[in-house]
Chains A and B, each alone.
Chain A
Amino acid sequence: MAEVVLKDVVKTFTLQIGGKPQLVNALKGVSFSVQPGEIVALTGPSGCGKTTALRIIMGLESANGGEVRVAGKHVLGCGHDRGMVFQHAELLPWRSALGNVKFGLEMKGVRGKELTERAESYLELVGLKDSMDRRPHQLSGGMKQRVGIARALAIDPAVLLMDEPFGALDAQTREVLQAELLSIHAKTGKTIIFVTHDLDEAVLLADRVVLMTQGEVQDVVDIDLPRPRGDVVAVRAHEEFVKKRYHIWKALHAHAVPDALH
């Protein structure tokens, strides 16, 4: 049974522009499903509804139509079965790295010694044990993102949702964190859905890439690269990587680039 199922999900936002209400059809019937332990990438041009889809799966936003199920249950709001990693980490600035990881656990009702131990072990998993007493402004962008990942993982969710988790990072840091995410996935076997603009990242990490355009799923591409994919350089040179990357790139550009450029 699929872990996450979206069926004909519709989302319409109402905007007030100059006093007149305007409708934005962010999702016009989106369907896809994610198997347990799978990594799925959502990609597509800006404004196509990736963040909206992810927020609906998380329960931060409610759909106007269709259905969303996680582990067979209808999504009615947020739950500890899903963990969110935000694009800009969104750490609580008054808490240390450790305190931020503790936050999710506290909300789950973990107390006392177990709270500290679990928070520390997840910081260790993302390689930040030495910096656990630092506050967010004393951490680099990549370190903040790691804390955000540790915070989401610490509550042991079945599904990890990530919105452009590495989008704001430089190329080197991004590569380090991509490899780290792969190793975390290998260790924990979590189901992961992440949004990205970076086609390399999508093909490198995902088992399947969901291509969206203007609120619809345009294509779902299977990536048949072997795991583990820890050796990033070798994976990039793999024939399948090159082929799928080109396929997705062409599919995206068929929509985005005016005819004159073809």
Chain B
Amino acid sequence: MTDNTLAAKAPTAQDAAVPLPRAKFKLAKGHVTALSLIIVGSLWELAGPSMNPLFGSYPSAIWEAGVRMAQSGDLMTAILSSLQPFAAGYLLAALVGIPLGLLIGRYRMVEAAVGIYVTAGYAMPLVALVPLFMLWFGLGFTVKVAIIFTLAIFPICINTWEGVRAVPKALIEVGTSFVAPPAAVMWKIVLPATLPYIIAGMKLAIGKAVIAMVVAEFFTAISGLGGIILNAANQFDTAAMFVPIIILMIMAVGLTSLVRLLERRLAPWQTELSGREAA
């Protein structure tokens, strides 16, 4: 028997990669979400006018208030003033949280020394620190970044840590058996293996960072989207109050999809491996 006959038996790319016939109709995920939004929005709109405008509002009234604010330029100013500390705090949290989580997860001594603070920080209500932060950092941009950073770093760090702990020993041993130096084990095995966990942490951190942003705007210099909420509430303008709330929701959903997109770019094997139902 020669090698050729053996190679012929081996499955090759050609026989597997035949294009599948396309399904005739496929209900896209986007369609379902859009339909759901339309139904919920319509019900809300129908129920709205019977509500006391002081206690609630409804889509068309919110839309009008939103257009008014957008035309005066207040809305754009508020969004920009919210987004700047948000972006700075969140990115800083990722920049510090990911390496910290990697080190805590990888090295027992770092875990013993630092792990307890991360666990404590994750579990405790960090909002309680806001008055202290105001003493340290004043009322401006810095204090907002600090609050957002503080709330966002823990879910990122703790997830990364958890992810490193979950890296199979067998994969580390692949590195060891090829004499990989510690840095290569970290970059080429631990980091990619942990990526799905890191991204999960970054998704959780978006929610925390949005809370942190609004809290910061409520308690420090009243400004941004949180500031609009507070001012509108003081003037009993409930429809206007809903505008930033809806924008915050859209922002959180948008950022989460962005992170998910990042996941599909950076960790496609993970999405392909998961056994989720398509329909």
Contacts and interface: CB of A to CB of B under 8 A. Distances in A.
Interface of A: 58-60, 77-80, 82-84, 86, 88, 90, 92-94, 103-104, 106-108, 127-128, 130-131, 134-137, 140, 142-143, 146, 155, 176, 179-180, 183, 230-232
Contact of B174 (A77, A92, A180): A92
B14 to A, nearest CB: 7
Contacts of A92: 171, 174, 188-189, 192
B174 A127 contact: no
A4 B2 CA distance: 31
Given A127-B7, A230-B1, A134 B269 contact: no
Nearest to B273: A137
Contacts of B11: 140, 142-143
> What's the interface size class on B, roughly?
20 to 34
B61 to A, nearest CB: 50
A164 to B, nearest CB: 14
B177 interface: yes
Contacts of B195: 94
Contacts, number: 84
Contacts of B107: none
Nearest to B192: A94
Contact of B6 (A59, A86, A104, A183): A183
Nearest to A233: B1
A59 B177 CA distance: 8
Interface in B1-37: 1-3, 6-7, 9-14
B135 interface: no
B176 A60 contact: yes
B178 A90 contact: no
B191 to A, nearest CB: 10
Interface in B146-176: 170-171, 173-176
A52 B179 CA distance: 19
Interface of B: 1-3, 6-7, 9-14, 170-171, 173-180, 184, 188-189, 192-193, 195, 267, 269, 272-273
A127 B269 contact: no
A231 B1 contact: yes
B9 A130 contact: no
A179 to B, nearest CB: 6
A261 to B, nearest CB: 37
A94 B13 contact: no
Contacts of A183: 3, 6
A78 B171 contact: no
Contacts of A78: 176-179
Contacts of A142: 10-11
A200 to B, nearest CB: 17
B176 A90 contact: no
B177 A137 contact: no
Contact of A103 (B2, B174, B273): B174
A155 B134 CA distance: 59
A84 B177 contact: yes
Contacts of B173: 60, 86, 90
B269 A94 contact: yes
A82 B178 CA distance: 9
A102 B177 CA distance: 14
Nearest to B181: A107
A90 to B, nearest CB: 5
B231 to A, nearest CB: 49
Contacts of B175: 107
A127 B6 contact: yes
A131 B14 CA distance: 9
Given A103-B188, A230-B2, 9 more contacts: A60-B177, A90-B170, A93-B269, A94-B267, A104-B178, A108-B178, A127-B6, A128-B10, A140-B11
A104 B178 CA distance: 6
Nearest to A105: B178
B193 to A, nearest CB: 8
A86 B174 contact: yes
A127 B10 contact: yes
B273 A93 contact: yes
Contacts of A104: 178
Contacts of B178: 78, 80, 103-104, 107-108, 155
23 contacts: A60-B173, A78-B177, A80-B178, A84-B177, A86-B170, A86-B174, A92-B188, A94-B192, A103-B174, A103-B188, A108-B179, A130-B13, A130-B14, A131-B12, A135-B272, A136-B269, A137-B272, A142-B10, A142-B11, A146-B10, A155-B178, A183-B3, A183-B6
A164 B193 CA distance: 25
Contacts of A103: 174, 178, 188
